[in-house]
A and B are shown apart, each in its own frame.
Chain A
Amino acid sequence: MAISKTETGVGKVRRPGKSRIGLAMVSPSVVVLLVWMAVPLAMTLYFSLIRYNLLYPGDNEFVGLENFHFFLTDAGFAAGAWNTLVLVLSVLVISVVSGVLIAVLVDTPFFGRGLVRVMLISPFFIMPTVSALVWKNLILHPVSGVLAAIWRFFGAEPIDWFTTYPMEAIIMIVAWQWIPFAVLLLMTAIQSLDQEQKDAARLDGAGPLAIFWYITLPHLARPIAVVVMIETIFLLSIFAEIFTTTGGGPGYETTNLAFLIYSQALLQFDVGMASAGGLIAVVIANIAAFILVRMIGKTLTDKA
């Protein structure tokens, strides 16, 4: 074990025990997470290599890579992978951009700022299933939804969101849930911005846009990286919002990988194929993790 910087002077007295304490304290978390990863993964790996359909119990012969072949050539796979990408990227862009704008907006004091903040972050506390149901039935419904009423008020034909623009509707719901998270983090970050620096820039004749672009935005780079990291983790496995609204349809239009695997396993009872899909999703998740870590991981762990 490497000798860490702390082990100078005083620490030396107990050096033999110290690294052992460190190891002993980190290991419970590592062990439970390893078990949590390894055991289900091993089982999934096993299931993915056999024929395992809940409708045909007992018929569990070894089929090699057949399940992987079927999953990868299934019409749903390409659509699922593409939809996952679209969903993750759209929500990231929407929540980060509006998060930055809103955080800047509420940075200056105004009447009732406390209440405005509370309202802005409220969606973060709502269950995903509830927000999906509320949006589906009360906001986006083509007959009695609030948006339909607004459309009619302006003389337009109300839109049946989940059949005409299903993906856009899902993105809208998910973005609504995650904008508050971006606001929450970026609001805190902006507060720590050095006011004197802004004042100095203003005295030098910099306009609000220049200040935003050259001072505020660079200051937010790191919190934005954190928002992207955390949101990606959750967005990759979006499920409840799709399950309660479109059920993946129409066709495969709103099926992401998480939902595709679910429909294989629980709607078509094909555990073998769902397991193959699960493993493929794990590989994709790891690729995403690798890319993310390459891009922003350094900013996250390197603390001066």
Chain B
Amino acid sequence: MMTLKQSRRLQTLLLGTLAWLVALIIFFPIFWMLLTSFKTEIDAFASPPQLFFTPTLENYAEIDQRSDYFHYAWNSVVVSFGSTFLGMLLAVSAAYSMAFFETKRTKNTLLWMLSTKMLPPVGVLVPIYLLFKDFGLLDTRLGLVIIYTLINLPIMVWMMYTYFKEIPKDILEAARLDGASAAQEIYRVLLPICKGGLASTILLSLILSWNEAFWSLNLTASSAAPLTALVASYSSPEGLFWAKLSAVSTLACAPILVFGWVSQKQLVRGLSFGAVK
């Protein structure tokens, strides 16, 4: 007869196995992409698909020859960090004022900000394109920084607002009594308290900017083109070169994926949008 302890252990084992199975299935496409990037083009197209093969680095070598990976990667880095920095400047001050100087209009303003994210970007593509052309922003990193700041701002404001809301107002009052200005209040008192919230907002903004593919494809050509554009340039001869496509995709996703893994705990803890008490 099984004791209670044994049955508990069996249950844990079964649930654990199930969890592993689900995780492996969900992760499989990424694993397969990585695997395919080390295949020859012939192996990549083989039917049935091969799990075992002689790995080769020729795809990576050819990408290195054909295009300047670091040029695209650098653009991605500059644009993601630039827009995140600018967005945080705007979002922190907006969220500060919304959380601590709440008025009747605060909630509506917040919801209105979120609603600006609901319109499909294609709807305003032509006007934005023309404006960018007039201001000389086409194919510039500054142009992308501006666009990404704008499209991520609503979410950043909302996230920071939910973190600030949880901070007892007395703490700020105390700082104010000591003669701190609004800027000092934010940088000396507020931000150190919600380091976690700050970190996850920054992380989310970086991830979203890194992966954004609509504006980057339509507003850049070469000099400001980020990694999304590099991937697109390899996908044009439809499906003919899957191994190379996999290699270039791996290169494009690896930085943010590794970054995501490293900061995973932080992201999980902070990404609650005030939903978890």
Contacts and interface: CB of A to CB of B under 8 A. Distances in A.
Chains A and B bind each other: yes
Contacts of A108: 12, 15
B224 to A, nearest CB: 17
B182 to A, nearest CB: 5
B261 to A, nearest CB: 5
A200 interface: no
B131 interface: yes
A120 B22 contact: yes
A129 B276 contact: no
Given A33-B150, A189-B272, A233-B114, A6 B23 contact: no
Interface in A135-155: 135-139, 141, 143-146, 148-149, 152
A249 interface: no
Contacts of A119: 23-24, 26-27
Interface string B100-127: 1111100101110111111111111111
B213 A223 contact: no
A187 interface: yes
Given A47-B126, A222-B275, A303-B274, A102 B22 contact: yes
Contact of A105 (B15, B110, B162, B239): B15
A1 interface: yes
A10 B130 CA distance: 51
Interface string A39-59: 111011001000000000000
B220 interface: no
A118 B261 contact: yes
A156 interface: no
Contacts of A123: 26-27, 29-30
Contacts, number: 323
Contacts of A278: 119-120, 122-124
A230 to B, nearest CB: 7
Contact of B49 (A115, A144, A192): A144
A233 B20 contact: no
- Which label, helix, strand, loop or mixed, suits the secondary structure of the A interface? helix
A192 B97 contact: no
A26 B98 contact: yes
Which of A105, A117, A133, A239 counts the most chain B CB atoms within 10 A? A133
B29 A139 contact: yes
A30 B30 contact: no
Given A30-B109, A47-B126, A233-B117, A127 B228 contact: yes
Interface stretch (A62-70, A209-217, A283-291): A283-291
B253 interface: yes
B16 interface: yes
A206 interface: no
A22 B157 contact: no
A127 B252 contact: yes
Contacts of B97: 21-26
A248 interface: no
Contact of B15 (A25, A110, A126, A128): A110
A22 B253 contact: no
A265 interface: yes
B73 interface: no
A258 B119 CA distance: 9
B136 interface: no
A4 B102 contact: yes
A239 B23 CA distance: 27
Contact of B120 (A41, A236, A286): A236
B120 A129 contact: no
A14 B44 CA distance: 69
A177 to B, nearest CB: 10
Nearest to B16: A110
B47 A43 contact: no
Given A293-B111, A301-B107, A29 B153 contact: yes
B103 A4 contact: yes
A184 B109 contact: no
B253 A237 contact: no
A130 B275 contact: no
A226 B275 contact: yes
Contacts of B29: 123, 131, 134-135, 138-139, 176
A18 B15 CA distance: 55
B275 A237 contact: no
A122 interface: yes
Given A6-B100, A110-B12, A185-B275, 5 more contacts: A25-B182, A26-B93, A105-B15, A239-B214, A265-B122
Nearest first, the 7 closest Cβ-Cβ pairs linking A and B are A22-B101, A278-B123, A110-B16, A43-B127, A29-B94, A40-B124, A237-B120
7 contacts: A29-B93, A29-B94, A33-B116, A39-B127, A106-B19, A121-B268, A152-B48
